[in-house]
Amino acid sequence: MLQQQCPHHSMGAHVSTRNLEDRYLKFKGTDEDSLLRWFAELDDAIRARHTEGDEMQVTFVLPNLTGRATTWALGLKLHDPNVFESLKILNSRLKDTFEPPRAEFNARSALWRFKQSQRDVHAYAQHLRYLVSSVTENPVDEHTLINVVVYGLVDGLLKTYMFQKDFRTLEMAIAYAEQEDFSLIHSRSNSSNCRPTKRQ
């Protein structure tokens, strides 16, 4: 019985692993690529897979290079097969080669200026997370990030509600903002549906 079940279990593990690999972006080494964001996505994937050990992590990351980045990595490995002894070394080499000058400074500046504008709350939160993930050298503290997300909201009821709350983390603030935004939209929808129709 156990022998019959094992192939099925193995297939399920393979499918889930494959789906995980398909979820994040390849890094091409072009100007439009965000290396800092790619690092953050890879870190999430490595932790989700419980990939441990320098060799295993490097083996996991290298196939996710493509284009110029693949050519660069292969060239270095041909010269020295042990050039990437750890993920830290690989990331450092990638950063030295492909990160645009002042990339983190620009991301930090964009974070301070970032406003909701015409975005819905979910899109606003997602882009805010991206900017935060791009600031890696000297991460911004949670209290400051909470102020950024609250002050960046469009003036209105949601922003007023946010000022009345005390959040411990950025994610708590984002979760509350998305929940309250949904409630406000739902409330406005119900209100418009309940308006009496005019008699002819």
| 51-106 per-position pLDDT tens digit | 888 899 999 999 989 899 999 999 999 999 999 999 989 988 998 888 777 777 88
Q: Who has greater pLDDT, 173 or 24? A: 173
Mean pLDDT of the 170-176 span: 96
Report the sign of the C-alpha dihedral through residues 145, 132, 44, 127, in that order. Answer: positive
Euclidean distance between CA atoms 49 and 40, whole angstroms:
14
Q: Who has greater pLDDT, 106 or 200? A: 106
Q: Who has greater pLDDT, 79 or 133? A: 79
User: Does this model's pTM top 0.85?
Assistant: no
The answer to whether residues 159 and 153 touch, using CB atoms and an 8 Å cutoff, is yes
Mean pLDDT of the 167-183 span: 94
Instruction: Judge whether residue 47 has pLDDT over 60.
Output: yes
What pLDDT score does 154 carry? 95
The answer to whether residues 35 and 27 touch, using CB atoms and an 8 Å cutoff, is yes
